[in-house]
Each structure stands twice: as C-alpha cells, then as structure tokens.
Homo-oligomer: A and B are copies of this chain.
C-alpha cells in the first residue's frame, strides 16, 4: 500500500480536507473538499460535525499521516480561540485513530508547492491543480491538498 496523507485546512466555517496517495514520483488525488460547518448553529454542533467528518475520512482512507498548517497566531485573540476549538477536535480524531500529526508553517507549504514562500493563495491553488491533474472546488480544499503535498515532499522515500 502506498502511503496516504490527509491534509487539513482549519477553519471555523469551512474546514478544507485533501487526501493524497504517493505513487512513485507522482501523487494521486483520492478526495478533497470542505466541511461546511456554517456559522449559525451553536459552536458545539459545528465541532461535532467537523469531528464526525474527520473520523469518517480517517476510516475511509486510513492515512499514515495527518498534515496541518501551523497556524499563524495574529493579534486576534477571539479567532485564535475559535480556531483552537476546531483544531482540538481535529487533533482528537487523529489521536483516537493513532494517526501521527505533522505541522508545517504556511511559508514552508508555499515553498514546497510553488517554490516561493510568498506565493499567493491563487498561485498555490494553481500549482496544486497542475501537480495533481484535478480541479479543486474551493480554496479550502486546495490549501488542504497543498499541506498534504508539502508533507510528501518532506517525507519522500521509505519514511512517512
């Protein structure tokens, strides 16, 4: 079985996911999209939806790694608190399934995928689509696939 990675792009409204499999020098796109938790329902209902979706993705694809972008904590303490809650249930789902978690700073992800740490989101999406030969349906899915690709670039060869 070739290694599979699940990339996740955290968000309180939309959490992107991307599942990739390494195949020799190439990568196969298995699945991607976003968990649309919205913003109208109580936070606990949204957290449950995100958790359930993650549990389902892990069961379906049995990834050997979960890759996340290391969040840049800007000055906004309120969004850090909300995003932390989403991150909590994502980490829980991975830990319960025994899937190791890897973190990559945004700059490292961009450099890995586009070759340039200051690349725009549109450039990242374009490169992800070219590398995988698929159209991504949203920025969240593209960002999740990008961090998944970044993980593979950093774990080429026998170790994953």
Interface residue range, chain A: 20 to 34
Contact stretch, chosen from A28-36, A43-51, A107-115, A125-133: A43-51
A positions within 8 Å CB-CB of B: 42-45, 47-48, 51, 71, 73-78, 80-89, 91-92, 94-96, 101
**Assuming A42-B101, A73-B77, A84-B84, what are 6 further A-B pairs, CB within 8 angstroms?**
A80-B80, A80-B84, A81-B83, A84-B87, A88-B92, A89-B92
- Closest Cβ of chain B: how far from A52's Cβ, in Å? 9
Task: Tell me whether B77 and A47 are in contact (CB under 8 A).
Answer: no
Chain B residues lying within 8 Å of A48, measured Cβ to Cβ, are: 92, 95-96
Q: Which of B42, B83, B92 is in CB contact (< 8 Å) with A47?
A: B92
Most buried by B among A47, A51, A88, A91: A88
- Closest Cβ of chain B: how far from A84's Cβ, in Å? 2
Chain B residues lying within 8 Å of A74, measured Cβ to Cβ, are: 77
